[in-house]
Structure 1
Amino acid sequence: MREKLITLTFKRALLIVGVSIIALGACKSKKKAVQPEPEPAPVERVEETPPPPPPAPSAEEVAVEKLESAFNTVAGSSSPSMANQSIEQTLAMFSNQDTPVLIVIHEENGIKDYDEPTTIRKYLEYLKDTKKNLNFISDIRLDANGKVSELELRRK
Structure 2
Amino acid sequence: MKKRNLKFPLTRSLTVMLFVLLAMGACKSKKKVVEAAPEPVPVEEPAPQSEPEPQPSAEEVAVGKLENYFNAVANASNVQGANNTIREALGMFSNQNTPVLIVIHEESGTKDYDEPTTIERYLNYLKDTKKNLNFISDIRMDGSGKVTELELRRR
Shift of 1:48: 1.9
1:22-56 per-position Cα deviation (integer Å, ceiling 9, x unaligned): xxxxxxxxxxxxxxxxxxxxx98743224423211
Distance in 2 between the 1:104 and 1:73 partners? 22
C-alpha distance in 2 between matches for 1:89 and 1:100: 18
Code of the residue aligned with 2:90 in structure 1: it is L
Gaps of 5+ in 1: 1-42
Q: What does 1:24-39 align with in structure 2 at a 5 Å threshold?
A: none
Going from structure 1 to structure 2, the CA distance change for 1:86 and 1:46 (only over 3 Å counts) comes to same
In 2: Cα distance, 1:123 partner to 1:112 partner:
20
Which digits, 9 at most, give the CA deviation of each residue in 1:48-89, with x for residues without a partner? 224423211000000000000000000000000100000000
CA distance in 2, matches of 1:53, 1:132: 38
Runs of 4+ aligned residues of structure 1 deviating over 6 Å after TM superposition are none
Q: Which position in structure 1 is the counterpart of 2:99?
A: 100
Instruction: Say whether 1:154 aligns with 2:136.
Output: no
Whole-angstrom distance in 2 between the partners of 1:91 and 1:130: 19
Equivalents in 2 of 1:138, 1:149: separation in Å? 14
Identity of aligned residues (%): 66
Structure (1 or 2) with the larger CA radius of gyration: 1
CA distance in 2 between counterparts of 1:45 and 1:133 reads: 50
Query: Which structure has the highest helix share of the two?
Result: 2
SS in 1 for 2:153: strand
Alignment partners' CA distance in 1, 2:144 and 2:85: 22
What aligned pairs does 1:2-151 form with structure 2 within 5 A after superposition? 46-151=45-150
Taking structure 1 as the reference length, the TM-score comes to 0.70
**Distance (Å, rounded) in 2 between the aligned partners of 1:139 and 1:148:** 11
Question: In the comparison of the two structures, how many residue pairs are matched?
Answer: 116
Per-residue CA deviations over 1:93-140 (Å, capped at 9, x if unaligned) read: 000000000000000000000000000000000000000000000000
Q: What is the DSSP-based 3-state SS (H/G/I as helix, E as strand, rest coil) of the residue aligned with 2:81?
A: helix
TM-align CA RMSD: 1.9
* Corresponding letter in the other structure for 1:124: L
